[in-house]
């Protein structure tokens, strides 16, 4: 699908932020190890979530999803996940730990997700192995099995979000004490811990490790997912473009966005905070900066591409470094179509522009890169086309409704009727 944007005015708007996709994925998978009915609120209505729901149904649960509320009843009766769509999303690997905890066995597809580089899962598998599991990988499948799970001290080589979540889920039902050293402490990890603790788990965060005291039973609960800080941050950055005056976000949490707010202020934007509402006001001109992404609480890798689009709109170069993923650059060749100058010095690059073109056809190839290209269409007035816009729909709830709320003129088409360009 493609999105034509006719950018002929100054935009502003107020939109609602939904629950964090990356929290929801872990928490939905972790629901497998709870006994009793579960209700999850603030769940975004996104492709990845629907894939997780189908998987829950396939292993025996009754699932009802309406108005961003997910009700899960029944219980899992098998450990084989044969739905191929699981290989199209990253979060499907959270079922590995929950099914292992429940059945001592899981058979599934390897995870997919955006192409940001190699994205191995060795930390997950080495962690599972140290808790007593064996695994075999063949074609696009994985089989993990254990005779007996036991607690252990796990040292993660890097604070991986996915590995931390998977190991917490598995360890939470292993009797004894497991420590995860060098864990990721992203808000989404803390949300999972909060969810499991509400259900009866005993998980605590120490100075440089997470301590998990395994329990025999976790009970069904009602739980509200935290707001999506990446969705929030994306729209906060969009507000900095020349053809936006401001954007207000409701139902968000500025405490998860401190580094993003600091960066926006450094660029020249104004940020107003009022309880659960954030308003960002566009600057008259962009102040160039040097920025490096890092693990939380540093600037998130998921927002670095969108920030790059903003920083492009300056004659003076900004230097951007992404230390987390080695291949988060494919969108840069698309930005060049707008006359944005990119100088590579991997893992850093510089962006600048003396004159941004007012027409271009931009092709998306990953979720956040897609939102970056979308953002670049607001750096100047003109007509733009975003191809493969479906990538954006995968991470941004009610995206087209939000465009309407921000008074953006657009039309949506499928690739075969692409007549504009
Ligand atoms: C999660 C998020 C993703 C976000 C990323 C970093 C989900 C579903 N996705 O991805 O949106 O961009 O955190 O905030 O929550 N690594 C290994 N071996 C492993 C695991 C990771 O080498 O077993 C490397 C990765 O290649 C990467 C780094 O560690 O270079 C961080 O990856 P990780 O934090 O695990 O990211 P994801 O959980 O895949």
pLDDT digits (tens, 9 = 90+) for 354-379: 999 999 999 999 999 999 999 999 99
pLDDT at position 327 is 74
Ligand 1 and 160: CB distance under 6 A: yes
Q: Which ligand 1 atom minimizes the distance to the CA of 300?
A: 14
Look at residue 267 and tell me whether its pLDDT is greater than 80: yes
pLDDT at position 354 is 94
Sign, CA dihedral 122-128-131-136, equals negative
Quote the tokens at residue 304.
């670095």
Look at residue 421 and tell me whether its pLDDT is greater than 60: no
Helix (H) / strand (E) containing 224 = strand 222-224
- The C-alpha atoms of residue 68 and residue 76 are separated, in whole angstroms, by 23
- The C-alpha atoms of residue 149 and residue 152 are separated, in whole angstroms, by 10
Q: Whose CA is nearest to atom 17 of ligand 1?
A: 120
CA-to-CA separations, 190 to 168, 193, 204, 223, 396, in angstroms, rounded: 11, 5, 10, 13, 22
Q: Does the model's pTM come out above 0.85?
A: yes
Ligand 1 and 124: CB distance under 6 A: yes
- Of 80-89, 154-163, 248-257, 401-410, minimum mean pLDDT range: 80-89
Q: What is the mean pLDDT of residues 179-184?
A: 98
- Of 73-77, 291-295, 321-325, minimum mean pLDDT range: 321-325
Instruction: Check if the beta carbon of residue 164 is closer than 8 Å to that of residue 184.
Output: yes
Task: Using the CB atoms, write b or e for 307-338: b if 16+ within 10 Å.
Answer: bbbbbbbbeebbbbbbebbeebbbbbebbebb
Helix, strand or coil, per DSSP, at residue 33:
helix
Look at residue 415 and tell me whether its pLDDT is greater than 80: no
Look at residue 109 and tell me whether its pLDDT is greater than 80: yes
pLDDT at position 113 is 76
Quote the tokens at residue 230.
């990446």
Q: How far is the CA of 299 from the centre of ligand 1 (A)?
A: 15
Instruction: Check if the beta carbon of residue 27 is closer than 8 Å to that of residue 190.
Output: no
Q: What is the pLDDT of residues 117-163, one digit of tens each?
A: 668 899 999 999 999 999 999 988 999 999 999 999 999 999 999 99
Ligand 1 and 173: CB distance under 6 A: no
Ligand 1 and 324: CB distance under 6 A: yes
Question: What are the start-end ranges of the H helices in 219-285?
Answer: 229-238, 258-267
- The C-alpha atoms of residue 219 and residue 239 are separated, in whole angstroms, by 42
Q: What count of other Cβ atoms lies within 10 Å of the Cβ of residue 294?
A: 17
Look at residue 58 and tell me whether its pLDDT is greater than 60: yes
Q: What is the pLDDT of residues 388-399, one digit of tens each?
A: 999 999 999 999
Ligand 1 and 91: CB distance under 6 A: yes
Q: What count of other Cβ atoms lies within 10 Å of the Cβ of residue 56?
A: 22
Q: How far is the CA of 159 from the centre of ligand 1 (A)?
A: 9
Cα dihedral 184→142→77→97 (10° resolution): -20
- The C-alpha atoms of residue 66 and residue 109 are separated, in whole angstroms, by 27
Strands (DSSP E) found in 48-167: 61-66, 69-74, 105-109, 133-138, 141-146, 153-155
Ligand 1 and 301: CB distance under 6 A: yes
Catalytic residue among 114, 133, 364, 377: 114
pLDDT at position 417 is 60
Ligand 1 and 116: CB distance under 6 A: no
Q: Which ligand 1 atom minimizes the distance to the CA of 48?
A: 8
Q: How far is the CA of 349 from the centre of ligand 1 (A)?
A: 21
Ligand 1 and 302: CB distance under 6 A: yes
Q: Mean pLDDT in the chain?
A: 95
φ, ψ for residue 321, nearest 5 deg:
-130, 125
**Residue 114 annotated among the catalytic residues of the structure:** yes
Q: How far is the CA of 184 from the centre of ligand 1 (A)?
A: 10
First to last CA, the chain: 14
Q: Whose CA is nearest to atom 31 of ligand 1?
A: 160
Look at residue 329 and tell me whether its pLDDT is greater than 90: no
Q: How confident is the model at residue 324 (pLDDT cuts 50, 70, 90)?
A: confident
Q: Whose CA is nearest to atom 37 of ligand 1?
A: 162
pLDDT at position 83 is 87
- In sequence order, the β-bridge partners of residue 278 are 249, 273
pLDDT at position 416 is 60
Quote the tokens at residue 39.
């209700």
Q: How far is the CA of 371 from the centre of ligand 1 (A)?
A: 19
- 244 Cβ partners below 8 Å, 6+ apart? 10, 11, 12, 238, 282, 378, 406
């Amino acid at each position: 699908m493609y999105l034509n944007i006719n950018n002929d005015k100054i935009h502003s708007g107020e939109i609602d932020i939904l629950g964090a996709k990356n929290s929801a994925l872990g928490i939905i998978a972790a629901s497998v190890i709870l006994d009793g009915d579960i209700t999850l609120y603030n769940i975004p209505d996104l492709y990845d979530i629907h894939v997780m729901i189908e998987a829950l149904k396939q292993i025996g649960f009754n699932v009802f999803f309406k108005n961003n509320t997910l009700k899960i009843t029944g219980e899992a009766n098998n450990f084989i996940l044969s739905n191929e769509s699981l290989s199209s999303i990253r979060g499907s690997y959270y079922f590995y730990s929950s099914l292992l905890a429940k059945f001592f066995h899981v058979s599934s597809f390897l995870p997919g997700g955006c192409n940001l580089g190699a994205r191995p899962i060795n930390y997950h598998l080495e962690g599972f192995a140290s808790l007593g599991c064996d695994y075999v990988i063949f074609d696009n499948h994985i089989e993990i099995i254990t005779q007996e799970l036991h607690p252990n001290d796990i040292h993660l080589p890097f604070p991986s979000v996915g590995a931390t979540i998977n190991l917490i889920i598995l360890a939470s039902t292993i009797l004894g004490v497991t420590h995860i050293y060098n864990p990721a402490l992203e808000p989404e990890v803390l949300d999972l811990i909060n969810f499991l603790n509400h259900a009866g788990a005993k998980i605590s965060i120490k100075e440089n490790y997470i301590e998990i005291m395994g329990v025999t039973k976790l009970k069904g609960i009602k739980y509200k997912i935290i707001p999506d800080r990446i969705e929030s941050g994306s729209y906060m950055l969009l507000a900095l473009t020349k053809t936006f005056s401001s954007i207000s976000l409701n139902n968000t949490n500025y405490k998860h966005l401190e580094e993003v707010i600091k960066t926006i202020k450094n660029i020249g934007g104004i940020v107003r905070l009022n309880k659960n509402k954030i308003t960002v006001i566009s600057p008259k001109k962009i102040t160039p900066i040097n920025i490096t992404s890092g693990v939380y609480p540093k600037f998130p890798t998921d927002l670095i591409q969108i920030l790059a689009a903003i920083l492009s709109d300056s004659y003076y170069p900004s230097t951007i470094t992404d230390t987390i993923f080695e291949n988060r650059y494919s969108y840069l060749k698309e930005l060049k179509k707008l006359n944005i100058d990119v100088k590579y010095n991997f893992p850093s690059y510089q962006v600048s522009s003396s004159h941004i073109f007012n027409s271009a056809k931009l092709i998306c190839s990953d979720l956040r890169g897609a939102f970056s290209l979308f953002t670049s269409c607001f750096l100047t007035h003109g007509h733009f086309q975003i191809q493969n816009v479906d990538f954006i729909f995968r991470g941004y709830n009610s995206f087209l409704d939000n465009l309407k709320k921000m008074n953006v003129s657009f039309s949506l088409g499928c690739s075969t009727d692409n007549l504009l360009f």
